[in-house]
Amino acid sequence: MSALEARNLHKRFGGLEVISNLNLTVPPGQRRAVIGPNGAGKTTFINLVTGWLSPTSGNVLVDGHAVAGRPEKVTRSGIARSFQRNMLLEDLTVVENLRVACQAFHPCRRVFWRSKRAFATVIEKAERAAERMHLTDILEVPAKHLSYGQKRQLEVALALCAEPKILLMDEPAAGTSPQERARLIDLINGLPRDITILLVEHDMDVVFATCDLITVLSYGKVLATGTRREIQDDPTVMEAYLGHRHAGD
């Protein structure tokens, strides 16, 4: 049973078909990269999987079941994502961002008569999440004052707070420094093997250092799926990225 499966997925916006007959299967525990030139439909694909968009036709299956539909239900069913453009709670501190994220599955979330500080388990979870992402030094800093790289880290940390079975990351390395990228690689490699990871990335260093298998998307279709060597040797992939003239070189 695959962790994540897309079957004959189509997504159309008016006259434009952004995802065309996309078929993809990710077995549990795999680290899969999804790469492709800009406009290939990578973020749209993630939006379809996580409930932000609904497919024009076709199915997305998680553990064999159809995807829950609305984003909050998708997260509850064990899928979390980080966003391409940071979507942080800007005016709140780093620790509060994490605490709110960790609180989402705790029964205390509906309590309106007691202080949030009374629920220590949630706060501890948040602090542990901060440790994992090397954010402990900046816990009390409002998210809007973080550097771009730190924001990216927080973005991934928030997704991890949901304790997902499947983690989708949308260009987590974008705009980060080499040290931050190295930390990201360590983080991904350090995640438990029972989490399935789908990584949309442009940065091939990160992809090669973390992923078992690579899927190449182009114009909303799967062009090729394979190991690093297979993708690098595939002429259609080169053509998609570099254009027709280079394909034969």
Partner 1 sequence: MQVFLTQILNGLQLSMLVYLLAAGLTLIFGLMNILNLAHGAFFTLGAYCGVVVGSLTGSFWLALLVGPLLPFLVGVGLQSMVLQPLAERGRSTHLDLALLTFGLLFATAGAVEWLFGSAFLSIPTPVALSGHVNLLGISYPVYRLFIIGVGLAVAVGLTFVFDRTLLGATLRAGVDNRAMVTALGVNINALFAIVFGLGAALAGLAGVIAAPLTSVYSQMGITIVVETFVVVVVGGLGNLRGSFYASLIVGMTNAMSQAYLPEVEMFAIYALLIGVMIVRPQGLFRNVERVG
Partner 2 sequence: MSDEVTIARTSTTTREAITLATEVRRATLVLAASAIVGALALPWLSASYATTLAIEIMIAGIFASGINLLVGATGLVSLGQGMFLGLGGYGIGIGTTVLGLPLWLSVPGTLVVVAIMAAGIGAVCTRTRGVEFLLITLAFSQMFFGSAIKLRLTNGSDGMSGIPRPDLTFLGLNGDNPVVFYYYVLVVTVVAVAAMWRIVESPFGSVLAAIRESERRASAMGYAVSSYKVGAFIIAAVTCAVAGILQSQYTYFINPDSMSWQLSGEGVLMVIIGGTTTVVGPLVGAAVFVLAKQGLSILTTEYMMFFGIFFMLVVAFFRNGVVEALKSALWSKP
Report the residue from 43, 83, 160, 173 that binds partner 2 according to the rule CB under 8 A: 83
Q: In the complex, what is the shortest distance from the CB of residue 148 to partner 2, in angstroms, rounded to a whole number?
A: 13
CB of 119 closer than 8 Å to CB of 172: no
For the chain, how are helix, strand and coil distributed in percent, rounded to 5?
Answer: 40, 25, 35
The minimum distance between CB 52 and partner 1, in angstroms, equals: 3
Binding mask 38-77 for partner 1 (x = CB under 8 A): ---------x---xxx-----------------x------
3-class DSSP assignment, residue 114: coil
Choices 66-74, 170-178, 185-193, 227-235; region in contact with partner 2 by CB under 8 A: 66-74
Query: Residue 13 binds which entry of partner 2, partner 1, none, with Cβ cut-offs from 5 to 8 Å by kind?
Result: partner 1
Nearest distance from residue 16's CB to partner 2, in Å? Answer: 23
105's tokens: 């599955």
Q: What angle do CA 196, 202, 208 make, to 5 degrees?
A: 60
Q: What is the CA radius of gyration of the chain?
A: 19
Residue 137 as a binder of partner 2 (CB under 8 A): the answer is: no
CB burial of residue 115 (10 Å; 0-12, 13-18, 19+):
exposed
Minimal distance, residue 88 CB to partner 2, in Å: 7
Contact pick of 17, 20, 63, 100 for partner 2 (by CB under 8 A): 100
From its phi and psi, is residue 34 left (phi > 0), alpha (psi between -120 and 50) or beta?
beta
96 binding partner 2? (CB under 8 A):
yes
**Does 242 participate in binding partner 2 (rule CB under 8 A)?**
no
In angstroms, the CA 161 to CA 155 distance is 10
Instruction: With H, G, I as helix, E, B as strand and everything else as coil, classify residue 238.
Output: helix
For residue 204, the partner it binds in partner 1, partner 2, none, with Cβ less than 5 to 8 A by kind, is: none
In Å, how far are 110, 120, 122, 142, 193 from 115, measured between CA atoms?
A: 12, 11, 12, 20, 37
**Shortest separation between residue 71's beta carbon and partner 1, angstroms:** 7
Q: How far is the CB of 40 from partner 1 (least distance, A)?
A: 17
Q: Dihedral of the CA atoms 233, 238, 244, 245 (nearest 10)?
A: -70
Which CB, 114 or 229, lies closer to partner 2?
Answer: 114
CB of 73 to partner 2, least distance (A): 8
**Binding of partner 2 by 115 (CB under 8 A):** yes
* Chain residues that interact with partner 2, rule: CB under 8 A: 50, 70-72, 75-76, 80-81, 83, 87-92, 96, 99-101, 103-106, 108-117, 119, 122, 144-145, 158-159, 161-162
